[in-house]
Amino acid sequence: MKVSVTVKANAKQDRVEAIAGGGFRIQVKVPPIEGRANEAVVRLLAEHFHVPKSHVAIIGGVSSKRKLVKIGAG
CA 49 vs. chain centroid, Å, equals 11
Smallest CA-to-CA distance from 53 within 66, 41, 62, 64 is with: 41
Residue 65 near residue 31, CB atoms below 8 Å: no
Is domain 2-71 in CATH 1.10.3720.10, yes or no? no
pLDDT at 67: 97
Give me the phi and psi of 59, to 5 degrees please.
Answer: -105, -5
For residue 2, pLDDT over 90 is answered with yes
Domain locations in the chain as residue ranges = 2-71
pLDDT tens profile 4-55: 999 999 999 999 999 988 899 999 999 999 999 999 999 999 999 999 999 9
For residue 74, pLDDT over 90 is answered with no
- Which residues, at least 6 apart from 20, have a Cβ–Cβ distance to it below 8 Å? none
Distance CA 53, CA 55 (A): 5
pLDDT at 21: 87
